[in-house]
Amino acid sequence: MDELPLLLADGVAALPDPLGVGTFLHFEADATASRHVFAVGAGVGITRFVAQHRYEPFWMTVATGERLGAVPVETQFLLAELDNGRFALFVPLIDFLLRCSLQGDGADGLQLVAETGDPAARQESATGLFVAVGDDPYSLISGAAMAVSKYLGTTRLRFEKPLPAFCDDFGWCTWDAFYQDVSHDKVIEGLESWKAAGITPRFLILDDGWQSVSEDTTGEKRLIGFCANEKFPGDLYTTVSMAKNDFGVETFLVWHAFNGYWGGVVAEAFPGCNAVSIARESSEGIKSHAPNVDNYFGNIVGVVPPDEVYRFFHDYHRYLRSQGVDGVKVDSQASLETVVRGLGVGGRVPAMRSYREALEGSVAVHFEGRLINCMSCANEMLFQAPASNLTRTSTDFWPDKPESHGLHLWVNAHVSAWWGQFVHPDWDMFQSGHPMGLYHAAGRAVSGSPIYVSDKPGTHDVSVLRRLVTPEGRVFRCASPGVPTRDCLFADVTKDAVLLKIVNVSGGAAHLLGVFNARHSETGTEPITGAVTLADAPSLADEAVAVYAHLARELRVLRGADRWEITLAQLRCEVFTLLPLSGYGVTPIGLGNYFNAPGAIVEVAVSEDGKTHDITLSTSGEFVAHCESAPVSVEVSGDPAPFDYDADAKTLRVAVDSAWFGTVRVVLA
C-alpha cells in the first residue's frame, strides 16, 4: 500500500483495498445522524489539485487550486499532483444510507460530508472515501475505478455495459430548435429542412414540450397523462410514423423527467401510483452554490414513491412503445435527492437505487436499453447505474453564452476522465450554424460522445456537419471517452494561458487530438501558443508518427521530442490525427475531410512485397496518406484514379467519389 498523501485525523481508520490499488477510509461519529462532517486530515506533499464538484443537484463543473483546504463544497472527485511527481486521487463513496462528498476545511485539510437527505434516515459510520497514489494519473484512474466498483457492488464499469446502437448515427434534438414550443408541424418543418440540406438525422430526440401537463395552484407544472398534448394531433404515433416513413429516422426518442415532469405528477391522474406532494429541500452544500435552486421549477413536487415507481415507469414506457417510440431521454434525475424527506425509504441513496432499478428495468423491457440519462451528475446515481450507460456529463450547450463554450469542453473532458469509467459520456447537442459550431464539432469529434445537433430549420452549416456526418447519416465515433492531456490536466484552461488538449483513440493505433483555446473575454484575449508532442499520446512516444492537422490540411512526421507549435486565437481550435508510420511506405490517415479521418478505414491490407496497399473505406471523401514516395498508380474500386502527391510533405491525396468508393489501392515502385 502506498503511503497516504494525508495526515489522517483522529479516529479515521484505513482499510485495505482487496485489489491493492488504494485505501478505503472509515469514519465513525459519536451518534447517529442524517448529516455528518468528518475531518479527513491534512494534505502531505500536495502541490496542486483539480476537482469535479456539483454546483446544482444536476451538474458538475471543474475547479483547480493548490491547497486541499480550498477544495470546493460538493466535490465528487479530486485529483492531486504531489511534490515527488506522483499523483493522488480521492473518491467520496456511498455507504448504505449515506452519500459522501468532499470539501476543504479552509486551511490545508479535507472534510468528508456524509448525508442521507432525510432527517429521519440516520447512520453513525461510513466507509466513505477511497484514496490511491500512483505514477501515472490515467492508469491510476482506471485502477481506482475497478477497485471502487468492486467494493461498492452497486454498478458496473462502462466497458461492461452495452451502448445503444444509435450512438453511431447522426441525430437531431428539438430542444434548442423549438424549446417547449415544439409541435408536430414544427418537427415536420425541421425534418424538411434537413432533407433540403441533404443530411439525414438517423435518430431524433423529441425534447420537452410534447407532454400533457397542467399548472398547479402553487405554480408547478405537473404531468396529467401519458399521451401527447394538443400540438400533436393523433398522439405521438402520427409524428413518429411521419419521421420514420417520410424522412429516414430510424430511432425516435422522447424526453421525460425522472418524476414525470418538472413538478412531478398530478396524483389524481395516476391513482395507482399514490403520488404525494413534497417540498424541495436541497442539501446545504448545493445551496451554498445555488441558494435559490429549490425554486427553479417550483418548490412543490408530486412524487411517485419509490415502491410505486416501477409500475409508473412500466406503464409510461409501455404506452410510449405502443406509439412507436424507441427510447427515452430521462431528465432532472438528481432532483430526486431534494424530495426524499418523509418518504420512509432511508433517504436519497435508497430512493435513487429504487428509481434507477425501475427505470433501467423498464427501458430494458420496452426499449432494449435505449436510454439517455440527463441532469444526473450526483454520485449516488453514477454509482448506481448497473445497466444503463449513456449519460450527459455537463450542463447544456448555451447558444447565447459565449463564455460557456470553452468551459463546456473542459468540463466534459474532465468529467469523462473519471466518471467515464462508469458511464459513457454524452457531451450534449450543439448547433452547426452557430458561430461556435465548428469549435463544438471539433470537440464532439474527439469526445467519443454521440453526435447530435439542435439546429433550427434553415440554419444548418453543411460544411461543419460534413466534418462529422457521412452522406449515409452515420458518424465516425471514438469508442472511448476523450480526456485532457497530461500537460493541461491541472490548468484552468478558461483562465490560464494554456491550450486545452483532448485526446482519444480512433480504431487501433490512431489517436485524435483536439486542441482548443478555451478562454473568452468580451474584449478579446491574447492568442495562446502551445505544442503538439508525442507525449499527448504516450503509447506513441517511441514511434515515428504521421501527424495530420485537419483544418490546416498539413501533414508532418514527429519523432521523439519533436514539437508542432500551434497558436490559437480566442475560442479557436484544430484537430490532429496521429498514426505511427507503417514501415511499408504508406501510412493511411483516412478521409481527411472528416475530423475523425481514421474512422472511415474499414481494413488495410499490404502485399507480401510491401508494394501494394489496399485501404477499404466505408464512405466517400478525400483520402489522405503519408507516402514515402510517389505512387506508381492509384486505383479506387478497381478503376484508375487521379491523385495528388506532395513530395516535400510526402502527402498523397485521392478524391474518392461517392458513386464508387470502396477500396483505394496504392502501388509503390
Distances (CA, A) of 586 to 68, 614, 656: 51, 10, 17
Residue 308's SS3 state is: coil
User: What digits encode the pLDDT tens for the residues 349-367?
Assistant: 999 999 999 999 999 999 9
Cell of 523: 474584449
Q: In the structure, what pLDDT confidence band is assigned to residue 321 with cuts at 50, 70 and 90?
A: very high
Q: Which amino acid is at 554?
A: E
What is the reported pTM?
0.97
Burial readout 339-351 (b: 16 or more C-beta within 10 A, e: otherwise):
bbbebebbbbbbb
Strands 98-104 and 109-115, sheet pairing: antiparallel
Return the H-helix or E-strand segment holding 438: helix 437-447
Cell of 467: 466534418
Cell of 113: 460530508
Cell of 519: 478562454
What gap in Å lies between CA 290 and CA 56, rounded to an integer? 6
User: What digits encode the pLDDT tens for the residues 134-167?
Assistant: 999 999 999 999 999 999 999 999 999 999 999 9
Angle of helix 437-447 relative to helix 404-418, nearest 10 degrees, comes to 10
Q: Name the E strands within 572-620.
A: 573-580, 586-591, 601-606, 612-617
Distances (CA, A) of 235 to 51, 183, 227, 239, 427: 45, 11, 6, 8, 30
Name the DSSP letter for residue 257.
E
pLDDT score for 660: 66
What gap in Å lies between CA 617 and CA 71, rounded to an integer? 49
All structural domains of the chain, each given as residue ranges with its CATH number in brackets, are 6-153 (no CATH), 160-465 (3.20.20.70), 485-581 (2.60.40.1180), 588-669 (2.60.40)
Return the H-helix or E-strand segment holding 413: helix 404-418
Q: What percent of the chain has pLDDT over 90?
A: 97
What gap in Å lies between CA 397 and CA 399, rounded to an integer? 6
Those residues with Cβ within 8 angstroms of residue 388's Cβ, 6 or more apart along the chain or in another chain:
161, 359, 360, 363, 369, 371, 373, 423
Residue 84 and residue 143 in contact, taking contact as beta carbons nearer than 8 Å: no
What gap in Å lies between CA 512 and CA 455, rounded to an integer? 26
Strands 390-392 and 424-426, sheet pairing: parallel
Neighbours of 583 (CB within 10 A): 11
Answer whether residue 658 shows pLDDT above 80: no
Q: In the structure, what pLDDT confidence band is assigned to residue 217 with cuts at 50, 70 and 90?
A: confident
Q: In the structure, what pLDDT confidence band is assigned to residue 662 with cuts at 50, 70 and 90?
A: confident
What is the sign, positive or negative, of the torsion defined by CA atoms of 389, 390, 396, 397?
positive
User: What digits encode the pLDDT tens for the residues 504-556?
Assistant: 999 889 999 999 999 999 999 999 999 999 999 999 999 999 999 999 999 99
Half-sphere exposure of 193 (CA within 13 A, CB side): 19
Name the DSSP letter for residue 73.
T
User: What digits encode the pLDDT tens for the residues 565-585?
Assistant: 999 999 999 999 999 999 999
Tracing cell 453513525 back to the chain, one arrives at 124
Mean pLDDT of the chain: 97
Distances (CA, A) of 625 to 100, 534, 628: 51, 19, 10
Average pLDDT of the segment spanning 260-280: 96
Largest Cα–Cα distance in the chain? Answer: 82
pLDDT score for 508: 82
User: What digits encode the pLDDT tens for the residues 236-269?
Assistant: 999 999 999 999 999 999 999 999 999 999 999 9
pLDDT score for 216: 84
Angle at 429 between CA 423 and CA 433, to 5 degrees: 155
What gap in Å lies between CA 175 and CA 497, rounded to an integer? 34
What gap in Å lies between CA 494 and CA 519, rounded to an integer? 4
Average pLDDT of the segment spanning 189-194: 98
Answer whether residue 1 shows pLDDT above 70: no
Tracing cell 448515427 back to the chain, one arrives at 169
Answer whether residue 433 shows pLDDT above 90: yes
Residue 622 and residue 589 in contact, taking contact as beta carbons nearer than 8 Å: no
Cell of 239: 409524428
Residue 77 and residue 419 in contact, taking contact as beta carbons nearer than 8 Å: yes
pLDDT score for 146: 98
